[in-house]
Structure 1
Amino acid sequence: MQLHVKNSPFNEEQTELINRLIPTLTDHQKAWLTGYLSAAQATQALPSADPAEKSQVQQGAGSQGTSPAVTREVTLLIGSHTGNGESVANDVEETLKKEQIKVSRFSMDEFKPKSLSKVEDLLVITSTHGDGDPPDNALELHEFLHSKRAPKLEGVRFSVLSLGDSSYEFFCQTGKDFDQRLEELGAKRLFDRVDCDLDFEEPAAQWLSGVLGVLNESKAADVSAQETSEAAESSSVNQPAYSRTNPFHAEILENINLNGRGSNKETRHIELDLEGSNLSYQPGDSLGIIPENDPALVDQLIEAAGWDPDESVSINKDGDIRSLHEALIKVFEITSLSKPLIEKAAALTGNEGLKELLKPEQSEKLKTYIYGRDLIDLTEDYGPWEVPAKEFVGILRKIPARLYSIASSPNANPDEVHLTIGALRYDSNGRNRTGVCSVQCAERSEPGSSLPVFVQSNNNFRLPENPDTPVIMIGAGTGVAPYRAFLEEREESGASGKSWLFFGDQHFVTDFLYQTEWLKWLKEGVLTRMDVAFSRDSEEKVYVQHRMLEKGKELFEWLEAGANVYVCGDEKFMAKDVNAALLSIIEREGNLTLQEAEAYLANLRSQKRYLRDVY
C-alpha cells in the first residue's frame, strides 16, 4: 500500500521516505518497529508532574549506563514437531531480548509443569499434530494441564500462537486447547490467540507485534534515535541473511533417480549448493523449499475460470502487484481444497449446489468432495465466479513451503545439502494429479537451475550427544533420508556407538535406496546391523514393524543398554504400526503388562530416547 499526502498525516518528504523504507523491511523488523513505537507512545503518556521520574524511566530502558526497567518475566513454551514453532520462537525470543524484556525459553518437554503457578507472563507457541493431537514434546504438559493436578493460575497473563493446517478438520486444535484451559485455570489473556495456517509468517508477526505492544505498555520505555539505529543494525547483522521469508536460491548440483528401471516409484536424490548462503544445519534438520505450481495446471485453471492471464492482481497486504498468471504460479495455492476455502468461494457464486454442500448434514459428503480435488475441479463443478480474478485470489492462501528431511551431514559435505524426495503422482476423479513440489523437483529442476530454500531446525530429532550411545533407526522409503545424514556424521566424528537400521520399501531390485552406501558402512562398521523389508517381493507383505518383531529380543536388549530409537516416515500407517510393534516387544521381552510397557515407552520419550520425525 502506497502512502500519499492526502491519505496520511505525513508531509511530502516524510511520505516519500516511508514509501521507500517499508517495502525493504522484513516481518521481524516490522514487528520490532511496531513494538518500539508502542513503547515510545507509552513513555509520552507518562504523567508530566515529575520530569525527573520520567527521565529515570527512559534511561532505565535505553541507557547502557543504567539498569533496565523492571518488567514481568516472560516464559516462552514451544510445542513443535517439524520445527516451525522453534523458528517462530527464535524471532520472539530475539525480539523480546532486544526490548530488554526478560525471557526464559523452554521446549514443553523440558519445562516442569508444576512451575506454571510461578510464571508471570506466559507465551505459548504450539503446532497441532495429526487429527488434533499435541506434538510429541507437548504431550506431557497438555495432559498435566487437563488433569486435576493443574494449579490455579490467577496472576498469570498469557497468549497463544497456534500453528496448523486448515485442510485438517481439527485446525490448530492444540493451541485452542491450551488457550481454553489456561483461561479455565484463572490466567488472563494479555493478547488474543492467533491461529496460523501453513503460511504463518504474517499472522505470527502480527501476534508478536500485539504481544509486544501490551508488554511495553507496562514498562514505559524510550530509546534514543542513535540507539534505535544501532539496534536495527544489530538485528540486521544477527539475523540470518536467508530465511523462510527470504529464501536462498540454491543451485542444483545433482538430480538423479534412485529407483531402478521398472519401479513404479521415482525417488530423487538432489544435491544443492549452499556456498555463500551462511545457512547452517545439523543432521535431523529439514530443508524447506518454496515451490511453484505447474504452469500447465495454471493455464488449465485460467481457462476453466475464463480469466485474463495478464490481469494485474495484488499478492499481499502491502499491495505488491503481479500478473494473474505469475501470481498463480508463484504465490497462491491451487492444488488442494479445504472447508474454509469452499465457504469463502460459496459467497462468490450463484450456484446453490455449493451452498447445499456446506450444510451441516452434508459434512461427510463435503469431506468426500474435498479429498483429491483442486481449484480446477471446484471451478468446473460450481463456477463461474461472480467476481473478477483480482477479487477471487483474495480468498486463496499462499503456497505453503514443503519441508524435507536433510539427507547429508555438513561435515561430510561442506557448503552442500542433500535431499531425498519421492515424486507424488496419482489419479483422482478422472484426472492425473501430481505433488506440487515433488514433481517440480522431478520434472522441472535441472542441474544448473535453482530452488529457493531455507533451513528448518528440528531439535526434536537429534543424534545423542554421547557418541557411545547406540542408535536404532527405523524408516521406510524416503523416511531413510535423515539416517544417511546420521551415519555420515557418525563416520566423520568417529562415533563409537552401535547403530542398527530397519529399512523398508517395495522391491529389493529397484527400490533399495542408497544400497551401496549402507553396504559400505556395514563393511566399515559405521553401521552395525541392518534389517530390510521389501513388501512386494513375497506373497505376504512384510514391513519394517514385522522385522522389528522378529528381532524383538535383541532390540529390547539394545533399549536396556541405553539405545535411542528414531522413527521417520508416514504417521498414520508406518509410524503407528512401529509404535505398536515397540509396545509389543517391550511388553513381551520385558515381561510387562501393557500399561507398564506404555509407561516404559513414555519414559523413553521423556528422556528424548524415542524420537519421531513423522508426517
Structure 2
Amino acid sequence: MIESIGIPRLLVATSVLIVYVAFVVACLRPKRRDPARAIDGIQDITSNDAVTLVAFASQTGFAEQLASQTARSLTSASSAVQLASLATLSADDLPKISQALFVVSTTGEGDAPDPAARFVRDSLSRSLPLENLRYGVLALGDREYDNFCAFGHRLDAWLRHQGATPLFDVVEVDNGDEGALRHWQHQLSVLSGSPDLADWDTPSYERWRLTERTLANPGSAGDPCYHVVLQPQPGSNADWQAGDIVEIDPQNSTWNATTAALPHREYSIASVPAEGAIHLLIRRMQRPDGKAGLGSGWLTQQAAIGSDIALRIRPNSNFHVPRDSRPMILIGNGTGIAGLRALLKARIDAGHRRNWLLFGERHAAHDRFYRSDLDAWSDNGSIERLDLVFSRDQFERIYVQHRLLERPDALREWIAAGAAIYVCGSLQGMAPAVDAALTHILGADIVEQMTIEGRYCRDVY
C-alpha cells in the first residue's frame, strides 16, 4: 500500500533533489582557470626584484594566450614570473614591481579591452612612483583601423610619464603577425639571459647561399666580428628595406632531420637590395662554457662557404628611413653599425645628405667597421657630421652618450630642423644611456613627442 506524502515532506524532498542536481552540475562543469594560476611557478605580487610581472588586457582571449606563452617562456628559463590580468591589478600594485611585461590589445576606436576598464579609470588617470620599474609592451592591433595599437601606445606613454624605463620599444603586432611575435620572443631571450628559448612556432625559411666571410676586427680586444655575405637563389624575388631584420635558422635545423628545431637568431641587415646580397656584421659570442653562440658560431665558423643558409627576412617598418629629406641623426655602437650603415646607404642613394653619425667602439686601430664607406661618405659630404668614439683609446672611458652631451647646441639645432633619431646597438648600457642623454638635453616631453611621431626609432638588442 502506497502511503500519501504530506506537503511539508514533499517540499523537503524537492529541495534535497534540487541541491543534489546543482551539486552534480557544478562538478561536471569545466572549471575556469584563474589566469594568474595557469602556469606552474607563478608568484604572488611582491616587491621581489627577481620577479617579472606579465600583465595582459584581452578582449577576445588572444592577448591572454600570448601572455601565458610569454610567462611559460620565462619560467622555462628559470625566471620567477607573476601572471595577471590588468583587471586584477590596482594602482597600489605597480610601485611594488621592478620589471613588467604588458601584453595588451586594442578594441573599438583605439580603446582598452573591456576587462581593463577599471585599471584605466583607477591607474592611468593617476601619477604613480614608477621610477624603479623596467617594462616592455607587446601591443596587438590591426592596421586596417585608424588607431592601430592605440591602447598599447597609451600605456607605454603613461608608463614613461611615471618615470618607468622601457626595456625596448613597443613591439606592434598587426593581426597576429608572426614576425613581430618572433621578435617579442627574441626580446624574451635577451631579457631572461637564455638565448636558447624555443620558438613558439617554427617559421618557414628560404635558401640563401653563404658566399663570403671576412674577419672585420683583427687584433681587437673584443670578440671577433665577421662581415658575412648571403646571396639569394637565382630567380629569387628577395627584397627588403634598410632597417629590416634577417632571421637565421642555426644549423638549418628545420631542414636537418638529425637536428632538433633550434630557436632563430636575428641580425640587422647592413646592405640595401641594390647591392645584390644581404651583408651582416656578426660578433661571435662566447657562452659561459667557452662554446661559440648558437647562431653566431654557425654563421662565423661552422657553416661552409658556398653552403645553403636557412633565412627569412622580417620587415621592421618602425626602423625604415624617413620618406622625406628631413635631417637624420644615427647613433650606435658595436655591430649596431650594420643597421646604421644600411640606413645611411639608403639615404645617400636617395640624395639626402643631412646625416649625422655618432658611433662608438673600443679601439680605432681595430674596430672601425665600414671604414672605407664612412670615410668616403664623410669626405664627399654625404655624412654632414661624423663623430667616432673609441672608448679605450684614452685613459678615461668615453662613449657615444658622452659625445652627445658635448654637442647639446648642435643636437637642439638638428631637432628644431625636424631631424629624426635612429639608435642601433646594445640594449644594455648604450641604449638607456643615450636615452638619458637625449632626455637631459631635449627634455622628456620632446623625447616622448618624437617617439609618438616616429622621429625617435630604435633597433636595440
Give 1:142's aligned amino acid: L
Check whether the contact 2:220–2:367 (CA below 8 A) recurs between aligned residues: no
Check whether the contact 1:472–1:565 (CA below 8 A) recurs between aligned residues: yes
Partner of 1:571: 427
Identify if the C-alpha distance between structure 1 residues 112 and 284 changes in structure 2 by more than 3 Å, giving closer, same or farther.
Answer: farther
Partner of 1:424: 285
Q: Structure 1 residue 282 and structure 2 residue 138: aligned?
A: no
Q: Extract unaligned runs of 5+ from structure 2.
A: 1-59, 67-102, 115-132, 140-148, 160-174
- Of residues 107, 111, 116 in structure 2, which corresponds to 1:116? 111
- Give 1:15-414 correspondences, 5 Å limit: 115-116=110-111, 132-134=135-137, 140-143=153-156, 163-164=184-185, 198-201=198-201, 244-245=203-204, 247-275=205-233, 276-292=235-251, 322=257, 326-327=258-259, 331=260, 398-411=261-274, 413-414=275-276
Alpha-carbon deviations, 1:571-611, whole Å to 9, x = none? 1211010000101111xxxxxxxxxx212111000000000
Q: Report deviation, 1:274.
A: 1.2
Q: Report deviation, 1:505.
A: 0.5
Check whether the contact 1:480–1:503 (CA below 8 A) recurs between aligned residues: yes
Q: Give SS of 2:444's match.
A: helix
Give 1:291's aligned amino acid: P
Give 1:537's aligned amino acid: D
Partner of 2:4: none
Give 1:544's aligned amino acid: V
Q: Report deviation, 1:614.
A: 0.9
Q: Give SS of 1:463's match.
A: coil
Identify if the C-alpha distance between structure 1 residues 524 and 434 changes in structure 2 by more than 3 Å, giving closer, same or farther.
Answer: same
Structure 1 or 2: more helix by fraction: 1
Q: Extract unaligned runs of 5+ from structure 1.
A: 1-73, 81-107, 120-129, 147-157, 172-196, 203-243, 294-314, 332-397, 587-596
Q: Distance in 2 between matches of 1:422 and 1:141?
A: 36
Q: Structure 1 residue 472 and structure 2 residue 333: aligned?
A: no
Check whether the contact 2:361–2:368 (CA below 8 A) recurs between aligned residues: yes
Q: Report deviation, 1:145.
A: 9.4
Partner of 1:534: 390
Q: Distance in 1 between matches of 2:177 and 2:246?
A: 26
Partner of 1:608: 454
Partner of 1:9: none
Identify if the C-alpha distance between structure 1 residues 321 and 585 changes in structure 2 by more than 3 Å, giving closer, same or farther.
Answer: closer
Partner of 1:459: 317
Identify if the C-alpha distance between structure 1 residues 560 and 321 changes in structure 2 by more than 3 Å, giving closer, same or farther.
Answer: closer
Q: Distance in 2 between matches of 1:517 and 1:140?
A: 37
Give 1:475's aligned amino acid: G
Partner of 1:441: 299
Aligned length: 314
- Of residues 523, 538, 548 in structure 1, which corresponds to 2:379? 523
Identify if the C-alpha distance between structure 1 residues 539 and 143 changes in structure 2 by more than 3 Å, giving closer, same or farther.
Answer: closer
Identity of matched residues, % = 30
Q: Report deviation, 1:546.
A: 0.6
Q: Give SS of 2:218's match.
A: coil
Please, what TM-score do these two structures have when normalized by structure 1? 0.46
Alpha-carbon deviations, 1:117-160, whole Å to 9, x = none? 899xxxxxxxxxx96521598752335899xxxxxxxxxxx999
Identify if the C-alpha distance between structure 1 residues 611 and 492 changes in structure 2 by more than 3 Å, giving closer, same or farther.
Answer: same
- Higher RCO (CA < 8 A, seq sep 6+): 1
Identify if the C-alpha distance between structure 1 residues 160 and 471 changes in structure 2 by more than 3 Å, giving closer, same or farther.
Answer: closer
Partner of 2:77: none
Partner of 2:438: 582
Q: Give SS of 2:317's match.
A: coil
Identify if the C-alpha distance between structure 1 residues 454 and 159 changes in structure 2 by more than 3 Å, giving closer, same or farther.
Answer: closer
Give 2:429's aligned amino acid: F
Alpha-carbon deviations, 1:199-255, whole Å to 9, x = none? 1326xxxxxxxxxxxxxxxxxxxxxxxxxxxxxxxxxxxxxxxxx31x122111211
CA RMSD of aligned residues (A): 3.9
Alpha-carbon deviations, 1:5-50, whole Å to 9, x = none? xxxxxxxxxxxxxxxxxxxxxxxxxxxxxxxxxxxxxxxxxxxxxx
Alpha-carbon deviations, 1:278-334, whole Å to 9, x = none? 2210000001110029xxxxxxxxxxxxxxxxxxxxx99xxx995xxx23xxx2xxx
Q: Give SS of 1:566's match.
A: strand
Q: Distance in 2 between matches of 1:567 and 1:140?
A: 19
